[in-house]
Amino acid sequence: MINFKQKEIIGKLFNAVKEKFPEIEFISVTEGPENPADFWINVTAPEDEEREDELIEFAGDKITDILLDYGYYFLLMPRKNTAGIGGMKYHEIFA
């Protein structure tokens, strides 16, 4: 279950990434398969592979800061195939 602070962090993280990579879209947030306290933020992947690498590097820096500052572990997961991805959708988190 996502708490209020985690929702706030997810929103800020996604907005920062979206500002630099406007072509991505939010898909959902899912629990990590190995640890339900970890969250995967699923987003659409950029078409260009080089751009996707830049996205992963940029998000990785932000995610490291979040882990050090708050102790929450997130992963930003760019997805090319978005069919069948479960989890909490944007309107369920930020309604």
Mean pLDDT of 13-19: 97
Handedness of CA 19, 23, 27, 29 (dihedral sign): negative
Query: Which sequence spans correspond to the domains of the chain?
Result: 4-94
Contacts of 60 (CB under 8 A, 6+ apart): 76
CB 16 within 8 A of CB 59: no
Helix (H, G, I), strand (E, B) or coil at 86: coil
Neighbours of 28 (CB within 10 A): 19
Global pTM reads: 0.89
User: Please, what is the average pLDDT of the chain?
Assistant: 93
Q: Would you say residue 82 has pLDDT above 80?
A: no
Q: pLDDT tens for residues 17-35?
A: 999 999 999 999 999 989 9
| Type of residue found at 29 | V
Could you say which of 3.30.1490, 1.10.287, 3.30.420, 3.30.300 is the CATH number of the domain covering 4-94?
Answer: 3.30.300
